Amino acid sequence: MSKKSKNHTHSFQAEVAQLLHLVTHSLYSNPEIFLRELVSNASDACDKLRFEGLNQPELYESDPDLRIQITFDKAAKTLTITDNGIGLTEADAIEHLGTIAKSGTKEFMSKLTGEQKTDAQLIGQFGVGFYSGFIVADKITVESRRAGTPTTEAVRWVSDGTGAFTTETITREARGTSVILHLRNEFEQYLNAWDIKQLIRKYSDHISLPIEMKKEVWQDAKEENQPGEMVTTDEWETVNSASALWTRPKKDITDEQYQEFYKHISHDFKEPLAWAHNRVEGATEYTQLLFIPTQAPHDLYYREHKSGLKLYVKRVFIMDDAEQLLPQYLRFIKGVIDSSDLPLNVSRELLQESRDVKAIREGNTRRILSTLESLANSDDAAEQDKYAKFYAEFGAVLKEGLAEDAGNAEKIAKLLRYASTGGANSANSTDTQTRSFAQYKADMKDGQEAIYYLTAENLATAKNSPQLEVFHKKGIEVLLMTDRIDEWALNYLTEFDGTPLRSVTKGAVDLGKLQDEEEKKALDEANEQLKPLVEKLQEVLKDSAKSVRITTRLVDSPACLVIDENELSPQMIKMFKQMGQDVPEPKPILEINPEHALVKRLEKNESEFADLAHVIFDQAKIADGQIPADPAGYLKRVNALLLG
């Protein structure tokens, strides 16, 4: 006797309701992906059972062969995807099929524009999973029983994909989950075995479990002049290859298969940029299949960003997001590692201490860096273009590696690209981040002893920086760095291939041999002559400037600010402040151009000396991309001088 179970209504989490609306509207033009998403979930559910079953074999009940089955009912217009994986309890169903657990969901939602094409791409990046069923179905019923729970404690979840869903307790013999799609009229094409098989081969062939469908046979017409027809039998047949993709020989795998596999593990709708698939033998043996995505995930910089690879041990799925298998700065890489040596019961804690894992991480890092290197150095324009795309998306993350992975800093440095003022031998300046340290070195002037660079908030500020004037005059190239991380990262890279790296905004200009004797003499003379002026400026500006000195680095500007070799730059201070860290702000050094008319005017005009001195200081600050400490005071002084 069964007591009548209660039917409960629940509302979707607000984000889910919003996502559902978008999914059905934006992905309408690419409906077939629903099957890949649902098969992918079914496969994950079986992986989870296999993993839990390692310690609790009773979870298999009496049904040890994991599989996915697809059936349809033409009369009822339903398509059903069934797995005998881990299953869901009622509480699981309410939680997992009613909320989105992913990090950065809110942030992601706020990026949506309401414009179909852009949103479809964004959603692709986010991954819609289960909810994609609503592209083709106007109602979804999920029936499920969690492995190991009584048959009377199964759940039915029903929703039309608008604001709410219902759940009730049901009786279900079979372990695992059936997702029953009540197809919209316009998607009845999916009630057709041939079409479904095509889709499985296209999207889900790499799934390591068998995907089964009822066998169809041709039946001749019973009467003459009548057409024959396909009839469905009761016999199951496997419609995919059912072997884990990474275990197959490379030569047997097509690009499309790699791409589909990537989409399966990454939930990304875009094709990967590149991949590397290898069987590594040696002290520890494993298979690595690593993908470089085309686009950075929206949560790459979130603390909760899930990074790492899927870990398998001898084909048994062990865990997602095994972050120990990659360094942090390669957290955007997706893929699978299948180890032959790790124990099946390996835990995250164990991974931390394992020497095998350390070897795998190093092997993965080497492989990714060499894959990037070959893209970057390729003669093939398409490959170079790929590298440029990669760099635009992930260049800033890669730079973290200079600090994190000192052992590979040299390799990483070879992969870095910057905008530049253009070298002595290359007439064009490069506004895009395409210039490498190696190219810079090859184009250095005779007698040049350092690689010069400038860090700034953005390219416009960098390009117009007064600090560049002497470099322009002498035709010396300067790399322009505008990623927020650049300055910090370069603390960890002091030289490239034996040549020191030198910031043009730190310390006095040191052009080494490029500075001729005459210039040195002129500087000495100016220093002597302008000593009283410098002292007076120092006195007037003592609250703002650490010191004042004469410079030869300026041509067109009256002054600029520099900081001492060992002090934090304004950009670094800004970065620390954004991270919530309080750091003391060092006073800058004011360098003045003895040849400039404004500086000469300082010498002559006693009455406006103080105003002019402050204006020159504030302008140097503005040229550096900063705001004067007292903007209103600055304007007042400028206006007084203009009218004066």
Which residues contact ligand ADP by CB under 6 A? 41-42, 45, 83, 85-88, 96-97, 127, 129-131, 177, 267
Cβ contacts of 49 within 8 Å, gap of 6 or more = 59, 60, 66, 84, 85, 86, 147, 176
Q: How far is the CB of 573 from ligand ADP (least distance, A)?
A: 40
Give the other-Cβ count within 10 Å of 405's Cβ: 19
Q: How far is the CB of 341 from ligand ADP (least distance, A)?
A: 29
Q: H or E stretch including 339?
A: strand 334-339
| Closest residue to ligand ADP: CB criterion | 129
The CA distance from 280 to 157, in Å, is 45
Give the other-Cβ count within 10 Å of 153's Cβ: 14
Q: How far is the CB of 261 from ligand ADP (least distance, A)?
A: 16
Judge residue 197's burial from the number of C-beta atoms within 10 Å of its C-beta, 0-12 exposed, 13-18 middle, 19 or more buried: middle
Nearest to 71 by CA among 242, 236, 264, 243: 236
Question: Which lies closer to ligand ADP via its Cβ, residue 45 or residue 319?
Answer: 45
User: DSSP strand E in 118-254: where?
Assistant: 137-145, 154-159, 164-170, 176-183, 211-219, 229-238
Q: How far is the CB of 420 from ligand ADP (least distance, A)?
A: 42
Q: How far is the CB of 178 from ligand ADP (least distance, A)?
A: 9
The CA distance from 147 to 156, in Å, is 15
Question: Which lies closer to ligand ADP via its Cβ, residue 129 or residue 327?
Answer: 129
Nearest to 207 by CA among 260, 131, 170, 144: 260
Residue appearing with tokens 């990714």: 368
Question: Which lies closer to ligand ADP via its Cβ, residue 262 or residue 453?
Answer: 262
Question: Which lies closer to ligand ADP via its Cβ, residue 72 or residue 390?
Answer: 72
> CB–CB of 459/482 below 8 Å?
yes
Q: How far is the CB of 67 from ligand ADP (least distance, A)?
A: 13
Question: Which lies closer to ligand ADP via its Cβ, residue 41 or residue 307?
Answer: 41
Structure tokens at 178: 């059936």
Cβ contacts of 172 within 8 Å, gap of 6 or more = 143, 144, 145, 151, 154
Question: Which lies closer to ligand ADP via its Cβ, residue 261 or residue 418?
Answer: 261
The CA distance from 342 to 354, in Å, is 9
Strand order in the sheet with 274-280: 274-280, 286-292, 334-339, 309-313, 316-322
Question: Which lies closer to ligand ADP via its Cβ, residue 101 or residue 382?
Answer: 101
Q: How far is the CB of 229 from ligand ADP (least distance, A)?
A: 33
Q: How far is the CB of 26 from ligand ADP (least distance, A)?
A: 16
Question: Which lies closer to ligand ADP via its Cβ, residue 307 or residue 430?
Answer: 307
Question: Which lies closer to ligand ADP via its Cβ, residue 85 or residue 272?
Answer: 85
> CB–CB of 365/404 below 8 Å?
no
- Which amino acid is it at 595? E
Q: How far is the CB of 411 from ligand ADP (least distance, A)?
A: 34
Q: How far is the CB of 122 from ligand ADP (least distance, A)?
A: 16
Please state, in angstroms and as integers, the Cα–Cα distance from residue 48 to each residue in 69, 146, 148, 167, following that order: 17, 11, 13, 23
Q: Within its chain, how far is the Cα of 273 from the centroid?
A: 13
Question: Which lies closer to ligand ADP via its Cβ, residue 129 or residue 423?
Answer: 129
Residues comprising the chain, all counted: 644
Q: How far is the CB of 165 from ligand ADP (least distance, A)?
A: 13
What is the DSSP annotation of 438-468?
A: HHHHHTPPTT--SEEEEE-SSHHHHHT-GGG
The CA distance from 68 to 256, in Å, is 22
Please state, in angstroms and as integers, the Cα–Cα distance from residue 8 to each residue in 11, 90, 98, 149, 359, following that order: 10, 11, 13, 21, 51
Question: Which lies closer to ligand ADP via its Cβ, residue 38 or residue 470?
Answer: 38
What angle, rounded to 10 degrees, do the helices at 33-53 and 255-266 form? Answer: 70
Question: Which lies closer to ligand ADP via its Cβ, residue 42 or residue 468?
Answer: 42
Structure tokens at 557: 């500007």
Q: How far is the CB of 68 from ligand ADP (least distance, A)?
A: 9
Question: Which lies closer to ligand ADP via its Cβ, residue 63 or residue 535?
Answer: 63
Question: Which lies closer to ligand ADP via its Cβ, residue 130 or residue 609?
Answer: 130
